[in-house]
């Protein structure tokens, strides 16, 4: 039975209930982001490897600091807020609360200055519904995390609750990750303190906030220490949200967040919050925000988030297109995974591509200096679209982009506005190990497999020297590379690497650890790619049984391993068994992940392929059309997964006798595949095989022979002479020769 497409079906990352990131799209991803490695499975398989990793880029900062002879205590004082909570009078300057526009003169003249701060810097506080509960949690001590969208009011709510509950505590608020270790050391020596971590994603990693140092701070007795943190929802999804299995991050980061008591703050006001806001409407800023409360959240409006987003969007056509392009480059660098301040030189090197996509010189772009001035100008005395970085470890003139713009872009992410490959490539050169892993995850999600391989290789190289070859995080990046090798059609390398990682994980973690089970599933995928279908079935069944026992039959990771088993059955010609297994997986994925999730659509085209093998062409066409349309919407019309589905649909059309239509689809799919993957990729060679079979049926034997020879020569070189698909190509070429009466040549081909 001729396979219709070489489909690498590596297991998805179970630990990755985050996105990408991404969603990725990743991101929301991933989602985001995202982004987001939805084709993989297994705890720690494809991650940014924060847990246990001392990110080398940041490690270099420490080394440089030591070489300069800087005292860590002085660095902490320089780069932190370190004083009593009651002494904090400017939450904007000290704690990162977003400023509002200036107060109206009447409110100020009336002496209506809120006890929480100046009426000019921040408006009077409107207590949120979670306020009392937050005060109680802080009074009890421990780790408290506020989660919500950008501009939901997280920082202000945390500040007000802290003032109410912990006014006599010492506040330690590090502004950068480079001094967090010293901040934790200082906090651990104080009996009453608050460690303030705004935008927690900046501090995650083994050189930052880990489960060990959180436990050190809040564990034990005889003290009252609090870790008070905020995290944007989009970032939370990258780490912990099981509803987004297409996003990734490390088990360590997830463990940190799971230690916290989490409170969620919604951006729109509830009816009770609106009532409280009305009592503060003497401040014109509050009154104006209430007039727009049906459209925007209170903090969102006060901090001019929508206004700044509108300014950016208008800039393309309102005389500031170069500034808009700089902002777009900054937003996409953040979406890609760069969390540190961005060098201006980086954005300047990228922005011309964004400008060109919108019209280039036709837009009349302003001079570069003018563009920077416009982008960094504060709006309504509030924050700017881009602002200078305050991180002392960042490059001179480094900048940070307004996170509301990042969130808004990611929430509207589609295949059409994904992060460009050139941006990912350029960002990769800037990234540390964690960021390289995130870029690799997004590149994988977008189908940029060569770039993903480079990203994971960079991440692996950056951390292996520091941690040793068998550290779990090092193995994570090595495992990532195995998956990408499969996508690139380098199956023998993938098998060798998969066996090595499995052996080390078994030795270090034990045979039942989820990382080890993930490696078993990845090995099964590699064996499938090598054409060792019986071995792949054996390994796949063992992994499936273990995942089912550990995670349950409907867990997304179990389902991915189940889908791999169905594929191995199909390739062995056990079609009714394969159909039954694919049907089970499709039903479960539809129920668990939804009909439009890419995982579900992948199961649908797996079932469609099996139906085509069974000769049930009409049923196959129906399944494959749904899969193709869904993948085109979710991933874009030229994503490698979408092109696979297009080629499979062409095969079903051939079975229905609609040969001209099938040929058009096959040639279109082959053209895109060749451009995306290269002429010798196994998927491309399979497409040549399918086209050759179709041309033989059309009695265009010369063209059929040419396609069959391309497939045979390529498979012999890429897969080897003993691979089942190489043998299939020999039979196909021989059959074309026999149709032309060239029997002796045919015998030599198969002999």
Can you give the CATH number for the domain in which 708 is found? 1.25.40
Give me the phi and psi of 70, to 5 degrees please: -75, 140
Residue-level pLDDT at 305: 77
What are the tens digits of pLDDT across the range 329-380? 999 999 998 888 899 999 999 999 999 999 999 999 999 999 999 999 987 5
Q: What average pLDDT score do residues 139-161 get? A: 91
Q: Would residue 300 count as lying in a domain?
A: no
Q: Where is average pLDDT lowest: 586-600, 649-663, 675-689, 695-709?
A: 675-689
Residue 101 is given by DSSP the state P
Residue-level pLDDT at 212: 86
Q: Are residues 194 and 329 in the same domain?
A: no
Q: Which residues contact 499 (CB under 8 A, 6 or more apart)?
A: 523
Q: Would residue 616 count as lying in a domain?
A: no
What are the tens digits of pLDDT across the range 555-594? 988 998 999 999 999 999 999 999 999 999 999 999 999 9
What are the tens digits of pLDDT across the range 84-108? 888 887 676 667 676 665 555 444 4
Q: Are residues 363 and 234 in the same domain?
A: no
What are the tens digits of pLDDT across the range 38-80? 333 222 233 322 222 223 333 333 333 334 334 445 455 555 5
> Residue 78: is the preceding peptide bond cis (ω within 30°)?
no
Q: Where is average pLDDT lowest: 22-36, 256-270, 503-517?
A: 22-36
Residue-level pLDDT at 104: 52
Q: How far is CA 598 from the centre of its chain?
A: 15
Residue-level pLDDT at 99: 63
Q: Are residues 325 and 257 in the same domain?
A: no
Q: Would residue 457 count as lying in a domain?
A: no
> Taking phi first (over 0 means left), then psi (-120 to 50 degrees means alpha), and beta for anything else, what does residue 209 get?
beta
Q: Would residue 206 count as lying in a domain?
A: yes
Instruction: Answer yes or no: is pLDDT of 538 > 90.
Output: yes
Higher pLDDT, 681 or 627: 627
The domain tally of the chain equals 3
| Domain finish residue from 375, 393, 414 | 414
Residue-level pLDDT at 390: 73
Q: For residue 311, what are the domain limits? A: 306-414
| 59-64, Cβ contacts within 8 angstroms, sequence gap of 24 or more | 59/207, 59/466, 61/178, 61/393, 62/178, 62/207
Q: Where is average pLDDT lowest: 192-206, 507-521, 598-612, 719-733?
A: 192-206
Task: Provide the b/e sequence for 509-544 (b: ≥16 CB within 10 Å).
Answer: beeebbbbbbbbbbbbbbbbbbbbbebbbebbbbbb
Q: How far apart are CA 9 and CA 366, in angstroms?
A: 48
Residue-level pLDDT at 578: 96
Task: Supply the CATH number for residue 173's domain.
Answer: 3.40.50.300
| Domain finish residue from 414, 430, 465 | 414
Instruction: Answer yes or no: is pLDDT of 662 > 60.
Output: yes
Instruction: Answer yes or no: is pLDDT of 122 > 60.
Output: yes
Residue-level pLDDT at 151: 81
Residue-level pLDDT at 402: 84
Q: Are residues 247 and 342 in the same domain?
A: no
| Domain finish residue from 391, 414, 437 | 414
Confidence of residue 405 (pLDDT cuts 50, 70, 90): confident
Residue 73 is given by DSSP the state H
Q: Would residue 171 count as lying in a domain?
A: yes
Q: Are residues 179 and 244 in the same domain?
A: yes
Q: Would residue 703 count as lying in a domain?
A: yes
Q: Are residues 234 and 118 in the same domain?
A: yes
Q: Are residues 228 and 89 in the same domain?
A: yes
Confidence of residue 703 (pLDDT cuts 50, 70, 90): very high
Q: Are residues 217 and 132 in the same domain?
A: yes
| 709-716, Cβ contacts within 8 angstroms, sequence gap of 24 or more | 709/733, 710/685, 711/685, 711/686, 712/749, 714/679, 714/680, 714/684, 714/685, 714/688, 715/682, 715/685
Confidence of residue 382 (pLDDT cuts 50, 70, 90): low
Q: Are residues 241 and 125 in the same domain?
A: yes
Helix (H) or strand (E) holding 148: strand 142-148
Q: How far apart are CA 137 and CA 144, in angstroms?
A: 7
Q: Would residue 668 count as lying in a domain?
A: no
Give the chain's mean pLDDT: 81
Q: Are residues 228 and 121 in the same domain?
A: yes
Q: How far apart are CA 718 and CA 680, in angstroms?
A: 7
Confidence of residue 252 (pLDDT cuts 50, 70, 90): confident
Instruction: Answer yes or no: is pLDDT of 1 > 70.
Output: no
Residue-level pLDDT at 383: 72
Q: Are residues 254 and 357 in the same domain?
A: no
Residue-level pLDDT at 115: 42
Q: Would residue 641 count as lying in a domain?
A: no
Percent of the chain clearing pLDDT 70 (strictly above): 82
Task: Provide the b/e sequence for 387-423 (b: ≥16 CB within 10 Å).
Answer: bebebebbbeebbbbbbbbbbbbbeebebeebbbeeb
| 281-287, Cβ contacts within 8 angstroms, sequence gap of 24 or more | 282/107, 282/110, 282/112, 283/103, 283/104, 283/107, 283/112, 283/119, 283/123, 283/124, 284/103, 284/104, 284/106, 284/107, 285/100, 285/101, 285/103, 285/104, 285/123, 286/123, 286/124, 286/126
Residue-level pLDDT at 660: 93
Residue-level pLDDT at 340: 84
Instruction: Answer yes or no: is pLDDT of 524 > 60.
Output: yes
What are the tens digits of pLDDT across the range 450-498? 999 999 999 888 888 788 888 888 888 888 889 888 888 888 999 999 9
Instruction: Answer yes or no: is pLDDT of 598 > 60.
Output: yes
Residue-level pLDDT at 80: 53
Q: Are residues 244 and 312 in the same domain?
A: no
């Amino acid at each position: 039975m001729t396979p219709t497409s070489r489909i690498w079906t590596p297991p998805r990352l179970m630990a990755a209930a985050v996105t990408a990131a991404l969603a990725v799209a990743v991101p929301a991803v991933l989602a985001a982001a995202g982004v987001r490695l939805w084709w993989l499975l297994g705890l720690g398989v494809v991650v940014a490897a924060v847990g246990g990793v001392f990110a080398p880029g940041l490690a270099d900062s420490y080394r440089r600091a030591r070489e300069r002879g800087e005292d860590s205590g002085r660095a902490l004082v320089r780069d932190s807020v370190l004083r009593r909570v009651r002494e904090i009078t400017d939450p904007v300057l000290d704690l990162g609360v977003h400023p509002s526009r200036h107060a109206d003169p009447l409110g100020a003249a009336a002496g209506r200055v809120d006890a929480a701060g100046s009426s000019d810097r921040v408006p009077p506080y409107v207590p949120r519904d979670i306020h009392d509960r937050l005060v109680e949690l802080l009074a009890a001590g421990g780790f408290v995390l506020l989660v919500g969208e950008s501009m939901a009011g997280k920082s202000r709510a945390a500040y007000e609750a802290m003032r109410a509950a912990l006014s006599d505590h010492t506040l330690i608020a590090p502004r950068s990750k480079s001094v967090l270790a010293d901040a934790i050391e200082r906090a651990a020596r104080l009996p009453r303190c608050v460690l303030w971590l705004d935008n927690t994603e900046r501090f995650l990693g083994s050189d930052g906030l880990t489960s060990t140092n959180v436990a050190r701070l809040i564990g034990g007795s005889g003290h009252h220490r609090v870790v008070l943190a905020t995290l944007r929802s989009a970032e939370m999804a990258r780490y912990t949200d099981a509803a987004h299995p297409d996003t990734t991050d490390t088990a360590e980061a997830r463990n940190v967040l799971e230690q916290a008591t989490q409170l969620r703050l919604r951006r729109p006001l509830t009816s009770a919050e609106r009532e409280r806001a009305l009592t503060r409407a003497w401040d014109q800023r509050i009154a104006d925000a209430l007039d727009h409360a049906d459209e925007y959240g209170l903090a969102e409006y006060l901090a001019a988030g929508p206004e700044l987003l509108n300014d950016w969007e208008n800039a393309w056509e309102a005389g500031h297109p170069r500034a808009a392009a700089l902002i777009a480059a900054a937003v996409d660098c953040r979406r890609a995974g760069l969390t540190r301040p961005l060098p201006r030189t980086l954005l300047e090197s990228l922005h011309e591509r964004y400008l060109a996509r919108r019209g280039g010189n036709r837009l009349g772009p302003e001079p570069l200096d003018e563009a920077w001035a416009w982008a960094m100008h504060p709006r309504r005395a509030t924050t700017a679209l881009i602002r200078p970085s305050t991180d002392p470890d960042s490059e001179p003139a480094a900048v940070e982009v307004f996170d509301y713009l990042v969130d808004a872009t990611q929430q509207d992410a589609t295949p059409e506005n994904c992060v460009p490959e050139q941006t990912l490539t350029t960002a990769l050169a800037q990234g540390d190990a964690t960021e390289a892993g995130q870029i690799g995850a997004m590149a994988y999600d977008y189908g940029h497999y060569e770039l993903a391989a480079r990203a994971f290789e960079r991440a692996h190289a950056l951390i292996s020297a520091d941690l040793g070859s068998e550290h779990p995080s090092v193995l994570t990046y090595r495992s990532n590379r195995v998956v990408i090798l499969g996508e690139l059609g380098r199956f023998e390398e993938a098998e060798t690497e998969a066996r090595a990682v499995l052996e080390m994980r078994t030795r270090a973690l034990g045979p039942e650890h989820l990382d080890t089970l993930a490696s078993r599933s990845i090995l099964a995928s590699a064996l499938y790619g090598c054409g060792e279908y019986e071995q792949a079935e054996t390994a796949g069944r063992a992994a499936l049984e273990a995942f089912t026992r550990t995670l349950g039959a409907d867990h997304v990771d179990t389902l991915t391993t189940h889908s791999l088993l169905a594929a191995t059955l199909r390739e062995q010609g056990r079609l009714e068994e394969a159909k039954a297994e694919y049907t089970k997986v499709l039903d479960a994925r539809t129920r668990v992940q939804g009909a439009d999730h890419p995982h579900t659509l992948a199961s649908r085209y797996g079932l469609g392929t099996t139906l085509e093998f069974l000769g049930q062409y009409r049923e196959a066409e129906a399944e494959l059309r749904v899969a193709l349309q869904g993948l085109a919407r979710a991933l874009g019309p030229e994503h490698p997964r979408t092109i696979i589905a297009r080629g499979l649909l062409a095969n079903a059309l051939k079975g229905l006798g609609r040969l001209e239509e099938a040929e058009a689809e096959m040639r279109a799919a082959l053209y895109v595949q060749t451009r995306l993957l290269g002429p010798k990729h196994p998927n491309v060679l399979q497409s040549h095989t399918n086209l050759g079979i179709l041309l033989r049926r059309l009695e265009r034997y010369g063209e059929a022979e040419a396609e069959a020879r391309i497939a045979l020569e390529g498979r012999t070189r890429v897969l080897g002479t003993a691979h089942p698909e190489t043998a299939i190509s020999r039979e196909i070429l021989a059959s074309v020769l026999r149709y032309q009466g060239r029997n002796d040549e045919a015998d030599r081909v198969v002999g």
